[in-house]
Chain A
């Protein structure tokens, strides 16, 4: 246990935006599956702390694979991925939980626990990280306030609308104040108005120094936002 605490402290020291040159860096990254062949080929890009970027491409272009590599749900076949100074490709199995605590993941299907209240869902990352109870309450309230869901702590996810569920997912991603937020099609199930609202939320995170990477194929939305766009095509990065 003491060992765990040390590891936790080492990996979760405050990361000041600006100290590191890159928050996320892909270095000649390739991913090959035995069944389907090479899905990603020679990907090179970097995101600075506090940068916001969209990741686009047709379905099958390798967006999901790229996000899986960042979340270390898959390991890359070649190259290096650096996240906040840690090499994800060489990280050991037991280090992965502590690396994942630095990222806030947001999913198209929200991935909420349906049998837990909104509060419990948002509190999960903090409970896992071993925060004391009073701090959990304070941080969850702050996160729910940020996504305008104050007062819905006791509700269950199924009682909420799609937009609200997505915002619960966002609150869960930001509650631990990770230096980077990664969103996979966060607006896929929402109407354009709600989608724009959510996007504005992401921009507000970026403004406080959080790096944001959003995978989406909603071209019109990207056009409105006017931010950096990483475009994938057939496993290659064609722009960005």
Chain B
């Protein structure tokens, strides 16, 4: 009994739990393999980031170029968003000019204006008398001397009608315009929406252009990150060959490079977001000042949370896609020696 105790003390080895769990040569059960697989991914994720940090100069160059491309695309997108918002706003502030018949006197015009302002669809009414119209025409029209030569004032009195806030769409505006046209002393009721429609057309062109620019810049991002991954693959050729020799699958070899592509896209996307936001903040004050001059209805749009995620997600996806395409092509031609 005493002897047995002694042996146990001398040769005592603490039991290793893992040793018992090991089932076969290929290593562990399914959950062990799953854990190993997950560990390999986590390792690849961080080791590829470590690699970027270890070669800061070349990484920064690539990320800078990618960021610029993404900033142009995202900035253009935001510009179009803002123009769309602007055109919506302007429609609401479209005004209707009532050119009164010649016989209508200024006093009658004022009376009419009071009546019109009772209409719930109208928010504001402004009367420009014949004399005021003439004075303004002289000042801005450039026909000063020609008008002086006329014996009487040819200009009609004008009532400018600003529709109420709830009269926003084109149908309601037209309805209001027709109502006003039917007033007896009104000669012509003109809606000043032509320039809004022109702006709309320009925005439509910008949207189309945006699509094409985004596709081009997307390709630029693909090629830039693809080329960088290709160079890195070339630099780590020895490692790739050794990994292949000891039985690495293409998937295993690809993994760190795919994550490198991911980091390139992700970091560039985040940086691009910051750059665009900083540019917008710089513009913000002056745009707000202009907006105040026009009645303050317009506020600069920034990226929403969803847009931010979309921007960063697309950038990261492009990075991964680029490296995948390069690796798919290159690994087939990298034969171990």
Question: With contacts A133-B36, A133-B39 known, is A177 near B25, CB below 8 A?
Answer: yes
CB-defined interface of A115-153 with B at 8 Å, one 1/0 digit per residue?
000000000111111111111001000000000000000
Main secondary structure of the interface of B (DSSP, over half): helix
Question: With contacts A14-B24, A73-B337, A101-B246 known, is A132 near B35, CB below 8 A?
Answer: yes
B18 interfacial by beta-carbon distance below 8 Å: yes
CB-defined interface of B240-264 with A at 8 Å, one 1/0 digit per residue?
0111111111111000000000000
A130 and B336 contact, CB distance less than 8 A? no
Closest Cβ of chain A to B333, distance in Å, is: 12
B218 interfacial by beta-carbon distance below 8 Å: no
Of A1, A71, A127, A130, which one neighbours B245 at CB under 8 angstroms? A71
B249 and A94 contact, CB distance less than 8 A? yes
CB-defined interface of B11-47 with A at 8 Å, one 1/0 digit per residue?
0000000110010111110101101110110000000
Once the chains are docked, how many angstroms separate the CA of A125 from the CA of B30? 19
Query: For chain A, which range describes its interface: under 10, 10 to 19, 20 to 34, or 35 or more residues?
Result: 35 or more
A97 and B37 contact, CB distance less than 8 A? no
Once the chains are docked, how many angstroms separate the CA of A30 from the CA of B126? 100
Main secondary structure of the interface of A (DSSP, over half): helix
Question: With contacts A73-B336, A100-B246, A125-B247 known, is A130 near B25, CB below 8 A?
Answer: no
B239 interfacial by beta-carbon distance below 8 Å: yes
Contacts of A135 in B (CB 8 A): 18, 22, 27-28
Once the chains are docked, how many angstroms separate the CA of A166 from the CA of B134? 102
B245 and A100 contact, CB distance less than 8 A? yes
Of A129, A133, A138, which one neighbours B247 at CB under 8 angstroms? A129
A21 interfacial by beta-carbon distance below 8 Å: no
Closest Cβ of chain A to B266, distance in Å, is: 23
How many chain B residues touch A (CB < 8 A): the figure is 33
B182 interfacial by beta-carbon distance below 8 Å: no
Contacts of A130 in B (CB 8 A): 27, 33, 36-37, 40
Contacts of A98 in B (CB 8 A): 247
Contacts of B252 in A (CB 8 A): 97, 128
Q: Given A13-B26, A130-B33, A138-B19, 11 more contacts at CB 8 Å?
A: A12-B26, A97-B249, A105-B245, A125-B247, A128-B246, A128-B247, A129-B27, A131-B36, A132-B35, A133-B39, A176-B247
Selected A-B contacts with CB under 8 Å, 11 pairs: A94-B249, A97-B252, A101-B246, A111-B242, A127-B40, A128-B249, A131-B28, A132-B32, A134-B18, A135-B27, A177-B25
Using a CB–CB distance below 8 Å, which chain B residues touch chain A? 18-19, 22, 24-28, 30, 32-33, 35-37, 39-40, 238-239, 241-252, 335-337
